[in-house]
Amino acid sequence: MHNDIQAIMFTKQEIDQMVYSLAHNINNDYAGEEVVAIIIMKGSLMFAADLIRALTMNVKIDFMQVSSYGAGTESTGTIKIKKDSDIDLNGKNILIIEDIVDSGRTLALLRPTLEKRGAKSVKIATLLSKPDRRVVDVPVEYIGAEIPDEFVVGYGLDYDEKYRQMDYIGILKPEVYN
């Protein structure tokens, strides 16, 4: 598995620092208010678990599974909601927790969908953002790091359901996915 990694982009310690920095900002913004964390599965699981543990307000947790990727490395451009939220979101502060914002298509659909359900507010927290790949301009309130257009895996991020368990984020060798 590690032989498939071209380079380490972020170590476990660097990821931990990003998570705590994001949590600090979210704690300040939502002080005294409850938040519903909508965790986008599957890639966001590890990031969300660490982020939520660092939050100081009351947090309700729910999951959505939304996909625009198949087994490839490019977005298909079609968004599929495979698992929807089970919580009544009317009047709630929603924090969408995403692993990586790439094209922006998924979140461009998801934010207005949740807003139409009567949410008090909808904000997005992502560990990573690839602004060079953005096809749809979607505001992201909390970003751990902006990265170049590299295919990254680890810490929940995958290629064809592999590499999620790594505690660091690495650049996948192109020969693995080409």
**Which pTM does this prediction carry?**
0.91
Amino acid (1-letter code) at residue 38: I
pLDDT (tens place) for every residue of the chain, 178 residues total: 589 999 999 999 999 999 999 999 999 999 999 999 999 999 999 999 999 999 999 999 999 988 765 555 555 556 678 898 999 999 999 999 999 999 898 899 899 989 999 999 999 999 999 999 999 999 999 999 999 999 999 999 999 999 999 999 999 999 998 8
CATH of domain 13-147: 3.40.50.2020
Domains in the chain: boundaries: 13-147
Print the SS3 string covering the chain. CHHHEEEEEECHHHHHHHHHHHHHHHHHHCCCCCEEEEEEECCCHHHHHHHHHCCCCCEEEEEEEEECCCCCCCCCCCCEEEECCCCCCCCCEEEEEEEEECCCHHHHHHHHHHHHCCCCEEEEEEEEECHHHCCCCCCCCEEEEECCCCCEEECCECECCECCCCCCEEEECHHHHC
Amino acid (1-letter code) at residue 137: D
Give the C-alpha separation, 118 to 101, whole Å. 24
Q: Which residues are catalytic?
A: 102
